[in-house]
Amino acid sequence: MADTWTTLEVESAEPCATDVVVITLVDPDGAALPAWAPGAHIDVDLGAGFLRQYSLCGDPGDPGRWRIAVLREAAGRGGSQRVHDLVRAGGKLPVRGPRNHFPLVDADRYLFIAGGIGITPILPMVRRAAAQGRPWTALYGGRSRNSMAFVDELRAVPGGDLAVVPQDEFGLLDLPAALGAPTERTAIYCCGPEPLIAAVERESAHWSPGALHRERFTAAPVTTEGGAFEVVLQRSGLRLEVPEHESLLDIIENAGVAVENSCRAGICGTCLVRVTSGEPDHHDDVLSDDERERGEVMLPCVSRARGELLVLDL
Ligand SMILES: Cc1cc2nc3c(=O)[nH]c(=O)nc-3n(C[C@H](O)[C@H](O)[C@H](O)COP(=O)(O)OP(=O)(O)OC[C@H]3O[C@@H](n4cnc5c(N)ncnc54)[C@H](O)[C@@H]3O)c2cc1C
Ligand code: FES
């Protein structure tokens, strides 16, 4: 089902923190939903051209329902606003997935760092680490206590070390203390607003390569600019120029070839295309190091070509 759309029923849609609604989805006929692992997200079609991603934050062991939680983004283009205004218990929601660009790797111990709504993929990870008996520490920051979803559920997870840090009471998360001394075989998982992710990247720079895993909900500043190149769209039989100041996705779309997309910023994975030949110059935040090295797929909303020619399976 990862690549096909299906319509699920909204079992419940309830506020769970200031500006956060938690939604449970079930199959209308009671069928089991596809399995997922912590870190997975689904695509949700919110109508009017709004396609958005939401992390699954319920229990992966319950095939009967999926749970997502959505923050109302006042500064956004309107997708989260539609969730808050239109999604109601008993209604229907077209979804696709799950997909996972943020899987929990095997490690001896875990350090989880979440900011605001970034708690959604982290919560099932904390539960998984606890269920496996691995030592875990979780730092959870938010603007204020009322704005922080799932605090009680986190407190109920046994065995770890949880710090709940509302900024208006305690200030920012103490990252230098948490990340100052690297520990072996520890995986750091971070999800939250861009300034938090940037700070964690900075403070963990002296950890071993690959220790930090992060997922962005909003794009870091990206540039789609780079050298000019040519792209051949194999199935469409088109050869196109990609000038240095234009994105590959824009050029493909302008030629009349549709590529499904959502964020146009290299963070959601929706525009993934297969590379037939040529070497991609990856600028996204989705592909793993292995996938980048193999060069078999790319995200044309932000990525380009290293050489003069790229051939895509489009
Ligand atoms: C893998 C993944 C998982 C996600 N999981 C969750 C989740 O569990 N819960 C959740 O609430 N959200 C999640 N998101 C984010 C979600 O998909 C939406 O982006 C979010 O709901 C906001 O949608 P929107 O249309 O309201 O705002 P968007 O238009 O998507 O904007 C989001 C933010 O980006 C900035 N922005 C938007 N447009 C511009 C622009 N033109 N210029 C500069 N800045 C801009 C603004 O700061 C805005 O607040 C996830 C995203 C990804 C990629
Ligand atoms: S559209 Fe989201 S990664 Fe390209």
> CB of 92 within 8 A of CB of 8?
yes
Fold of 229-312: Ubiquitin-like (UB roll) (3.10.20)
CB 297 near ligand 2, within 6 Å: no
For residue 118, give the DSSP letter. Answer: G
CATH of span 5-99: 2.40.30.10
Phi, psi of 82 (to 5 degrees): -65, -40
Supply the pLDDT for residue 2: 64
Question: Where in the chain are the domains?
Answer: 5-99, 109-216, 229-312
Q: Which residues contact 181 (CB under 8 A, 6 or more apart)?
A: none
pLDDT of residue 299: 97
Answer yes or no: is the C-beta of 75 below 6 A from any ligand 1 atom: yes
Distance 189 CA to ligand 1 centre (A): 19
CATH, range 109-216: 3.40.50.80
Chain Cα centroid distance, residue 108: 24
State the pLDDT at residue 1.
Answer: 54
What does pLDDT average to over the chain? 95
pLDDT digits over 149-189, tens only? 999 999 999 999 999 999 999 999 999 999 999 999 999 99
CB-ligand 2 contact for 266 (6 Å cutoff):
yes
Distance CA 307, CA 314 (A): 19
**Nearest atom, ligand 1, residue 102 CA:** 1
Q: What per-residue confidence (pLDDT) applies to 45?
A: 95
Helix (H, G, I), strand (E, B) or coil at 28: coil
Q: What is the pLDDT of residue 138?
A: 98
Q: Is the CB of 262 under 6 A from ligand 1?
A: no
Q: pLDDT tens digits, residue range 105-131?
A: 999 999 999 999 999 999 999 999 999
Q: What is the per-residue burial (b if ≥16 Cβ within 10 Å, else e) of 265-290?
A: bbbbbbbbbebeebebbbbbbbbeee
Does the C-beta of 77 come closer than 6 Å to ligand 1?
Answer: yes
Number of Cβ within a 10 Å radius of residue 248? 28
> What pLDDT, in 10s, does the model give residues 215-271?
999 877 667 778 899 999 999 999 999 999 899 999 999 999 999 998 999 999 999
